[in-house]
């Protein structure tokens, strides 16, 4: 087969302790999956089922990268998140076996153009340009679940220039990793190479040029992202 244009590079993530890389197919994100964050965004976590949005796989950014401040916004926000990598696909996956589909875990940051998101919400338009822009998915190297076990608790924190902005625990997820996989797999068939950003705790806030943003999850290490001009 020949291509009419150069074939795009396959997005991928490094793997801790390995020279291999994990190819990424799709990135799914869970909205408002911590109760306090749902409330700070004006929602009721006791009444709403999980909902999802997507980012393109080539929005991934490596740990330690400096990214340009994105165009079209004056209110870029950080969102610390646990990332789940799918190793075995499936549809309508039972909750009881959902964790068997997990390949590994990583630290992520769901960067958001908050002003664009607010404007889209106000008039009922899609969130795509507020969530799926270039460099919007910083993600640290993957840790195989075979080495970490399945994460049901552990501190998740985010600092900006050394100041704590977000601090919570994975046990505070409204919908657990197993719940998320089971529910999402009723809407789409999950495939090997899919990533799921599982939601952010309360304390989301702005980033400006020159900021150094560090997300840390207990047992998974840190993700550092610098905001350029």
The domain locations on the chain are 15-227
- The per-residue pLDDT for 50 is 87
Radius of gyration of the chain (CA): 17
Contact predicate 78/160, CB 8 Å:
yes
**Residue environment code for 71-92, b if the CB has 16+ CB neighbours within 10 A, otherwise e:** eebebbbbbbbbbbbbeeebee
Candidates 136, 131, 200; CA nearest to 165 is 200
- Judge whether residue 210 has pLDDT over 80: yes
Kindly provide the residue ranges of all beta strands, DSSP E only, lying in the chain, ordered along the sequence.
12-14, 21-23, 27-31, 51-55, 60-61, 66-67, 76-78, 80-86, 102-109, 112-113, 137-138, 143-144, 155-160, 163-169, 195-197, 205-206, 212-217, 221-227
Task: Dump pLDDT digits (tens) for 124-159.
Answer: 999 999 999 999 999 999 999 999 999 999 999 999
Mean pLDDT of 47-72: 94
pLDDT at 41 over 90: no
Question: Which CATH superfamily hosts domain 15-227?
Answer: Fumarylacetoacetase-like, C-terminal domain (3.90.850.10)
Task: Examine the pLDDT at 34 and tell me if it is beyond 90.
Answer: no
Whole-prediction pTM: 0.95
Q: What is the token pair recorded at 31? A: 């909205």
Task: Check residue 32 and give its pLDDT.
Answer: 83
pLDDT digit string, tens, across residues 186-206? 999 999 999 999 999 999 999
| pLDDT at 39 (0 to 100) | 66
User: What are the Cα distances from residue 184, in Å, to 26, 38, 128, 152, 198?
Assistant: 13, 19, 18, 18, 11
> Do 174 and 33 form a contact (C-beta atoms < 8 A)?
yes
**Please, are residues 21 and 57 in contact by the beta-carbon 8 Å criterion?**
no
């Amino acid at each position: 087969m020949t291509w009419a244009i150069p074939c795009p590079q396959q997005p991928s993530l490094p793997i801790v302790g390995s020279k291999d890389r994990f190819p990424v197919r799709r990135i799914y994100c869970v909205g408002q999956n911590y109760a306090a964050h749902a409330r700070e965004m004006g929602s009721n976590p006791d009444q709403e089922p999980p909902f999802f949005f997507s980012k393109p796989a080539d929005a991934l950014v490596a740990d330690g990268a400096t990214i340009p401040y994105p165009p079209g916004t004056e209110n870029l926000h950080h969102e610390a998140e646990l990332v789940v990598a799918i190793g075995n696909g499936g549809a309508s996956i039972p909750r009881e076996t959902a964790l068997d589909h997990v390949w590994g875990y990583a630290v992520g940051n769901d960067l958001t153009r908050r002003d664009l998101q607010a404007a889209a919400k106000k008039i009922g338009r899609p969130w795509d340009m507020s969530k799926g822009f270039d460099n919007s998915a910083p993600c640290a190297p993957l840790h195989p679940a075979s080495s970490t076990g399945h994460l049901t608790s552990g501190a998740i924190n985010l600092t900006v220039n050394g100041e704590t902005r977000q601090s919570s625990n994975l046990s505070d997820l409204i919908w657990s990793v197993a719940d998320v996989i089971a529910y999402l797999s009723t809407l789409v068939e999950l495939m090997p190479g899919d990533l799921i950003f599982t939601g952010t705790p309360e304390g989301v806030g702005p980033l400006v040029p020159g900021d150094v943003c560090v997300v840390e999850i207990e047992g998974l290490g840190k993700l550092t992202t610098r905001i350029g001009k």
